[in-house]
Structure formats: structure tokens, C-alpha cells
């Protein structure tokens, strides 16, 4: 016999699963929920009625769930994203971006400013708060339920501190989570920026419909993140995917971490921008450089070789993970077809044949917006979870 406590927990799990499915699919019918949750029609009707009564979801008869079917249209269930707002913060090494979104992850306002993030953590967070305050004022000061911020460095999820003092040098010994929490005064979640990139692609970009993804951000730095079995994978302390400072045999370029031959020292945007400028006899400024404008023979060769170098490393990752998609993001990865082709050629050459047949190498559908989209999507997910359980607990 099931106890009252077990029955309550079962209903709570069904409620959370139903909301997650409705949000993940963008909307569904009651029949879809029956198949997904394995519940009876009466069980689903009871669950849906409660969610409709609370205003958490909305129903209509003209949704995609009824298109192409004969007979009376099915009731189409959608999450009511207008019930609240969330915010996302994307920190690059030289910029701060803040976005305000509804609970469906639709961005309503956004602001970006250049800033030296690496060496000024207090100033970085202060700027993020200032940008958010400006967006809130434009939107007539709605209440923000949750904030997710992406950090471009090895943040330990257990301690809320940076693990490598030579990356984001100014953040050493800073209690990063407390710094954000005290500034924003609403529930905050911190994630590695590459993880937000893969989450953005998984929910709104090139990874939709795939359960196993490897995302690699190639910009001012190089980082990777994974979705495995339909869930984000962070590792023991949130540091999974820290490939930027993996040594590449046969290279000796000095890296900002103090070592030589790291991936970042060979294939990051800053490194290649300098090489491309030297080959072309000109200086490419960081704020104005667009890799899509590189068409000269020497420049194309530099980008192709850089893609090949990174692809050799990623072939080993593909052998370990067997992903469906390998998605390239960031200012370099998302916009250079030549770089993409170099990566794809190396993965085909060095991954196991069966592995390379399974994986599709592609660029991000969201371009350089993968991280900010992932931030607001994850913030909305956390806000929905809190609403569905009545809990305000946040995992730093």
C-alpha cells in the first residue's frame, strides 16, 4: 500500500515531468503527455486541470499538436511564459552581456558593454547589475525570479571559486557565487560559459532533438561542454570540458596560463587574428575583426590548419563520447567555414570509422548568442522548477 508521503512525491514528480516536457517541446496535447508520462487519461486530465487552474500553463485549440489531424482539434498545452521574468548574464574575457527574458526563454531586452572581465571581478558584477537595472527600467520593473551567469573560466561548482589562478587572474580567491548573489539579491546560478553554449544549442539551436552533443566554443579562449543522454554533463566539480589548456604535441607557443603548446595558444581567436594579420601585412583590431572576411590564400590555409589541429583533439573526444553532433560556436567556430572544414576533415581522419559516421560536425545555429540564450533558458528552467516545487533552493 502506498503511503500518503509516497503519493505526494509521485504527484510532484509527475508535475515536474509534465512541465519539463511541455517546455521542452514548446507545447503538446494531452495525448502526448499520456505517452510521455505513462499515465492514464484521467491522471493526465487531473494533472493538467490543476496546472491550468494555477495559470502555469495555457490551452488553445489551434496549436501544432492538432495540425494535420482529422476530426476535432486537440487541446494544445503551452507553458505560460508571461507569468514572470528571468535574466541571463554572459561574461566574455572582454565583454558583459545581460538579457531579460520571459519564462519561455524569449528575450525581451538585451544590453552589452566592453569590459576587462579578466582583471576586475567586482567591476564586472557591478556593470552586469547596472545593465540589468537599465533593462528592468525599460520593461517597467518586472520581478526577476532567477538569474544565470556564464563564467569564462574553470569555476568549481562546489566552492563557487575559480580553480586556475592564471585564467581570469583577477578572480583568484574571490567568492564568486557570493559576489553575484549579494549584488543581484535574487536566486543566482553560475555556470561555465561553454555549458550555457551547449544548453542554448540543445534547447534552441543546432542540438535540438539530439541527446548526445559536444559543443566547442572557439573565441578568445577555447572550451567545451556536453549533453549526454539528454542531460547536461558537468563532471565531479563542474569542470568537465576544460580543453583549452590541453597540451598539443609538437607545439611550443606560450599560453597565458604559463605553459606552452596549449590549445588556446594555437587555435583561439586572438592567436589566429595576429597570425592572419601578419600574413596579410595588416593589423586586425579585436573589436573590428570578422573571420568571414578572410579569403586570401595564406589566411585560408591558416584557418584550415587551425581547424585540423583542433579536430585531431576533438576526434579523441568523439571516440570517448560518441556524440550525434559536434557543434562549433564562438566568434571563430561559428563563423568560419574554412575552420569548420578543417575540424571536420580531422575528425573524419582520426576518429574511429563508426564514430565519425555517427557524428555530424556543424556550426552553431545561434552564432555568438549560444551562451546568452542558454543562460536565459536555464534561468527559466530553474524558475519553473522552483515554482513547481514551491522551493527557492538554488545550486550554486
Instruction: Tell me the average pLDDT across 122-148.
Output: 95
Q: Is the pLDDT of residue 300 over 60?
A: yes
Per-residue pLDDT for 67 more than 60? Answer: no
Positive/negative CA dihedral, 289, 375, 197, 258: positive
User: Is residue 75 predicted with pLDDT exceeding 70?
Assistant: yes
How confident is the model over 47-58, as pLDDT tens digits? Answer: 999 999 988 889
Q: What is the pLDDT of residues 183-193, one digit of tens each?
A: 998 999 999 99
Can you give the pTM of this predicted structure? 0.86
Pick from 310, 327, 78, 322: nearest CA to 200: 327
Question: Which CATH number applies to 4-79: 3.40.50.970, 3.40.109.10, 1.10.10.10, 2.60.40.10?
Answer: 1.10.10.10
Average pLDDT, the chain: 89
CATH 3.40.50.180 fits 209-365, yes or no: no
Query: Residue 2: what pLDDT?
Result: 62
Domain 4-79 and domain 209-365 have a common topology: no
Grid cell, residue 214, equals 559536444
Domain ranges in the chain are: 4-79, 84-197+371-389, 209-365
Residue 258 above 70 pLDDT?
yes
Burial track 255-294 (b if 16+ CB lie within 10 A, e otherwise)? bbbeeebbbbbbbbbbbbbebbeeeeeeebeeeebebeeb
User: pLDDT, tens digit, for every residue of 344-377?
Assistant: 999 999 999 999 999 999 999 999 999 999 999 9
Segment 120-131 shows an average pLDDT of: 96
pLDDT in tens, 224-236: 999 999 999 999 9
CATH topology of domain 84-197+371-389: Nucleotidyltransferase; domain 5 (3.30.420)
What region does 223 belong to: left with phi over 0, alpha with psi -120 to 50, or beta? beta
Selected residue with higher pLDDT from 166 and 10: 10
Q: Residue 69's pLDDT is what? A: 47
Q: Are 214 and 314 in contact (CB under 8 A)?
A: yes
Among 340, 287, 396, 377, smallest CA distance to 90 is for 377
Q: What is the mean pLDDT of residues 163-188?
A: 86
How many CB atoms sit inside 10 A of residue 229's CB? 8
Q: What is the mean predicted confidence (pLDDT) over 111-130?
A: 95
Amino acid at each position: 500500500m502506498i503511503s500518503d508521503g509516497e503519493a505526494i512525491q509521485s504527484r510532484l514528480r509527475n508535475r515536474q515531468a509534465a512541465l519539463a516536457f511541455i517546455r521542452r517541446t514548446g507545447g503538446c496535447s494531452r495525448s502526448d503527455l499520456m505517452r510521455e508520462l505513462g499515465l492514464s487519461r484521467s491522471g493526465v486530465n487531473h494533472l493538467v486541470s490543476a496546472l491550468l487552474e494555477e495559470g502555469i500553463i495555457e490551452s488553445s485549440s489551434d496549436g501544432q499538436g492538432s495540425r494535420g489531424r482529422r476530426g476535432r482539434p486537440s487541446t494544445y498545452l503551452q507553458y505560460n511564459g508571461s507569468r514572470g521574468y528571468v535574466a541571463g548574464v554572459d561574461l566574455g574575457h572582454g565583454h558583459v552581456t545581460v538579457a531579460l527574458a520571459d519564462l519561455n526563454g524569449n528575450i525581451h531586452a538585451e544590453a552589452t558593454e566592453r569590459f576587462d572581465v579578466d582583471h576586475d571581478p567586482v567591476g564586472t558584477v557591478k556593470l552586469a547589475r547596472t545593465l540589468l537595472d537599465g533593462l528592468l527600467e525599460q520593461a517597467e520593473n518586472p520581478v526577476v525570479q532567477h538569474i544565470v551567469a556564464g563564467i569564462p573560466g574553470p569555476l568549481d561548482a562546489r566552492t563557487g571559486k575559480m580553480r586556475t589562478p592564471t585564467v581570469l587572474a583577477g578572480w583568484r580567491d574571490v567568492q564568486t557565487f557570493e559576489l553575484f548573489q549579494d549584488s543581484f539579491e535574487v536566486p543566482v546560478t553560475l555556470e561555465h560559459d561553454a555549458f550555457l553554449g551547449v544548453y542554448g544549442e540543445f534547447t534552441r539551436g543546432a542540438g535540438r532533438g539530439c541527446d548526445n552533443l559536444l559543443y566547442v566554443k572557439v573565441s578568445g579562449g577555447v572550451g567545451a561542454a556536453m549533453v549526454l543522454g539528454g542531460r547536461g554533463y558537468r563532471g565531479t566539480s563542474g569542470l568537465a570540458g576544460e580543453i583549452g589548456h590541453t597540451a598539443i604535441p609538437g607545439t611550443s607557443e606560450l599560453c597565458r596560463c604559463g605553459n606552452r603548446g596549449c590549445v588556446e595558444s594555437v587555435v583561439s581567436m586572438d592567436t589566429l587574428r595576429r597570425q592572419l594579420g601578419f600574413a596579410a601585412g595588416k593589423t586586425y583590431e579585436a573589436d573590428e575583426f570578422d573571420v568571414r572576411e578572410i579569403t586570401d590564400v595564406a589566411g585560408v590555409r591558416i584557418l584550415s590548419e587551425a581547424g585540423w589541429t583542433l579536430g585531431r583533439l576533438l576526434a579523441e573526444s568523439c571516440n570517448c563520447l560518441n556524440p550525434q553532433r559536434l557543434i562549433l560556436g564562438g566568434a571563430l567556430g561559428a563563423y568560419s567555414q574554412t575552420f569548420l572544414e578543417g575540424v571536420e576533415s580531422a575528425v573524419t581522419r582520426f576518429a574511429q570509422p563508426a564514430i565519425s559516421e555517427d557524428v555530424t560536425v556543424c556550426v552553431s545555429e545561434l552564432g555568438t548568442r549560444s551562451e546568452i540564450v542558454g543562460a536565459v533558458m536555464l534561468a527559466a528552467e530553474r524558475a519553473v522548477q522552483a515554482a513547481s516545487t514551491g522551493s527557492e533552493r538554488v545550486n550554486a
